[in-house]
Structure 1
């Protein structure tokens, strides 16, 4: 056992830390070790329990009903399914909407700020995506633009609470009302905010109505492995109508084997994540989440205030939640991708976001329960990194490289040749450690979205080769 743990320790030597708040994306930390320990213990107890057949393991049903019931109690009622994450919750919501309306060429209307999980669900389920713009001041979608995009083939409209890129809440009441008037389901993507916004509201934040209590909202996704602080693999999708929830299910009797009825995309899966979520919610309780909400709100307000004091930086929009995006003014001489690398050199991960649909390249921070303890250090690192980025100047990409990449037939290159091409411009993602990403992000930012996607697929393939 000790040898195995030592091997794991060596493998994780270059990983970003999952505790302490220095990674401002991907991980969510309460700052309370006892809560995470309780979740880990119950996760392990449920590890080998298979959720495939709930009649074989009644504990799965009991835990899921309790977890989903708590989410429904807080988020306006409804009938839910426990899933492996936001992408699966969204996949099921899209499937349920598609199968409920049964149109010939289904499409859904989404803001450009909607999570790519909707594009992924559309790709898998044969649904086309109609994107609508957002305001360059508020980063919210316009109800009029949503209304104009709805057609007889629309099976869903999407709004976010909040959208991940800038942390703002779309005008959910208005969009849900117009969707209902046209007989179209309205899904609220509250994967990030579902288990945060209620506590921020109680802590004093001006959070507008966003959940299933809003007329016209037919489904909602809420991740518990985000601000529910559960181990990864924990989300809930709620449906206002139990008949719509049934449309998310899959059953097959077209074979001579065991009975197949699945509530989720996955069939066999461990009940560990469910047990971890159940334990976390019990360990924290309402008062625990409210206390975390208060500290999160305080940290987010301080971060927005502090960012405004750093020369050349500005917060994008007016985030209601604890997701904050900031960019650099054009005259500042600060390259945000270089700033991100400089922060990483100082031990902090600040997430880069590429430009899209008129929204400039920027950096994203997710404020969690542990952020308040280190918010002043974070602001100091950002200020130092901004000054260093200004001194270094923007990334210099070899002349003609972007044009070459844009016209390159990537399918003609194997992974070795692609790795050589990347290495020629100083990009090496195969050597371990924490790589600098400014060059990669600068090249990607200069390319159209379809070519970005091609490049990203090849990077992933190269990393795993």
Structure 2
């Protein structure tokens, strides 16, 4: 697309934008089980209004926009209260879980640079279920990620985590819950290990922070996970997931405000204004923080209890249905609204494609370590009214897909193709155009692509997907 010579009317532009959404997944119908968090039309309108009210305000400078600072302090105060932080607990509002995690690991690195300068190759202990954002942070901040195996319910194993501690370990990570399987790590036991070895301990509560407290209050069995657990020093939680805030809205919390000092970047050695950044970005739109403040106060504890209760009941319907489908099972514990479904005796990727053709979006996940390939569902309030229809379609489609595959050989990537890709560079994508296309548009079917990626080593997946996205996002120059 070339830069326009003349402007267009607002109506014409909005019409074009609306038309471009035609190929997006139909999330308004409750048929998407990832990426979308919607608490209903009244809540959505409040988010739009609050966001618009603060769309232009910039949280970069609290002396110019003190209202943005006060909104952030209010939201962080509510988060600390929900996560049972003490009087010294504090935090920072961020653009999302990835930024929260980046800041937490940057803080840990700088804390140890100050307190333990003898550690020149700092290590981060991660269960294999930890979110890729931790690996991204390690990549950005020159930290070594040490992966530790999990149990068959996809929970961290305290004994293995303890065995992995070295003189270079600075921080340990646990999830409450992990995104892929919805499993909660044994946070209290991990906290004991952190205390014993004098480590910082981050709890990734991005998908659980605005869900687990209310599930526990409703009577569900939720193990200890928050800032009240001895040994937990920092925690990330997203508001734009089960807090139903506008994207992007998250936070990183610390049990000790002295630790948070290492997060902040300040710079005055130049000819301009002094730069002080609590987060990764400088400019910080007031829109997300205002919308977050509004939704938290609009729903309150009573509102979130209703949303969580509805999501839990809908999730239970899906779990019960999957258990009744021959050849399928729910992985992990299946107690929350984050579910992973696997096929025991057939290829699950055609099932994901067939469900998408019926208008349902389920997130495929590749096999890694002790986790087989599966489909992930994040079940929220916006899915509740469509769950009965989803269960009927899933049962019908899964039964048919399984029957069609019985007696047939599964898709196997040819060995010569596998060897061609393993160890190759991005240029190998040019030799895969028959399967992947030229990389400038999305394919109609993902079955063969997902099967190929699933059978490759993770490093080869990363290379192919990185190059594919690099090509896909090149601008059209017509």
Residue 83 of structure 1 is matched in structure 2 by 94
Measure, in 2, the Cα distance between the counterparts of 1:199 and 1:303: 20
- Shift in Å at residue 395 of structure 1? 6.1
In structure 2, the residue corresponding to 1:19 is in which secondary structure?
helix
Residue 70 of structure 2 is matched in structure 1 by 62
Residue 345 of structure 1 is matched in structure 2 by 357
Measure, in 1, the Cα distance between the counterparts of 2:64 and 2:460: 48
Match of 2:435 among 421, 425, 437: 425
Measure, in 2, the Cα distance between the counterparts of 1:408 and 1:153: 30
1:83–1:235 CA contact under 8 A, matched in 2: yes
Match of 2:464 among 452, 455, 462: 455
Structure 2 residue 37 is the aligned partner of structure 1 residue 28: yes
Measure, in 2, the Cα distance between the counterparts of 1:65 and 1:209: 26
Q: Deviation digits for residues 122-178 of structure 1, max 9, x if unmatched?
A: 000110000000112x11111001001111111100000000111010000000111
Residue 369 of structure 2 is matched in structure 1 by 357
Gaps of 5+ in 1: none
Residue 48 of structure 1 is matched in structure 2 by 56
Measure, in 2, the Cα distance between the counterparts of 1:34 and 1:19: 14
Residue 99 of structure 1 is matched in structure 2 by 110
Q: Deviation digits for residues 237-264 of structure 1, max 9, x if unmatched?
A: 1000001111111111211210110000
- Shift in Å at residue 429 of structure 1? 6.1
Deviates more, 1:348-357 or 1:366-375: 366-375
Deviates more, 1:118-127 or 1:268-277: 268-277
- Shift in Å at residue 430 of structure 1? 4.2
- Shift in Å at residue 322 of structure 1? 1.0
Match of 1:146 among 142, 161, 165: 161
Distance 1:405 1:69, change over 3 A: farther
Structure 2 residue 171 is the aligned partner of structure 1 residue 132: no
Distance 1:428 1:305, change over 3 A: farther
Superposed counterparts of 1:58-457, under 5 Å = 58-77=66-85, 78-102=89-113, 103-136=119-152, 138-329=153-344, 332=345, 334-393=346-405, 396=411, 399-400=414-415, 402-407=417-422, 409-412=424-427, 418=429, 421-425=431-435, 427=437, 430-431=440-441, 435-457=444-466
Measure, in 1, the Cα distance between the counterparts of 2:394 and 2:438: 25
Q: Deviation digits for residues 325-365 of structure 1, max 9, x if unmatched?
A: 11011xx3x21111100110010001100000121001110
In structure 2, the residue corresponding to 1:13 is in which secondary structure?
helix
1:48–1:270 CA contact under 8 A, matched in 2: yes
Measure, in 1, the Cα distance between the counterparts of 2:438 and 2:397: 22
Q: Deviation digits for residues 290-317 of structure 1, max 9, x if unmatched?
A: 1101111111112111110111100112
Measure, in 2, the Cα distance between the counterparts of 1:302 and 1:428: 41
In structure 1, the residue corresponding to 2:208 is in which secondary structure?
coil
- Shift in Å at residue 201 of structure 1? 0.9
Scaled by the length of structure 2, the TM-score of the pair is: 0.92
Measure, in 1, the Cα distance between the counterparts of 2:221 and 2:239: 22
Q: Deviation digits for residues 388-432 of structure 1, max 9, x if unmatched?
A: 32244376356346424424633445xxxx3x5443126576446
- Shift in Å at residue 462 of structure 1? 2.1
1:22–1:347 CA contact under 8 A, matched in 2: yes
Measure, in 2, the Cα distance between the counterparts of 1:54 and 1:401: 60
Measure, in 1, the Cα distance between the counterparts of 2:338 and 2:48: 27
Distance 1:411 1:367, change over 3 A: closer
In structure 2, the residue corresponding to 1:370 is in which secondary structure?
helix
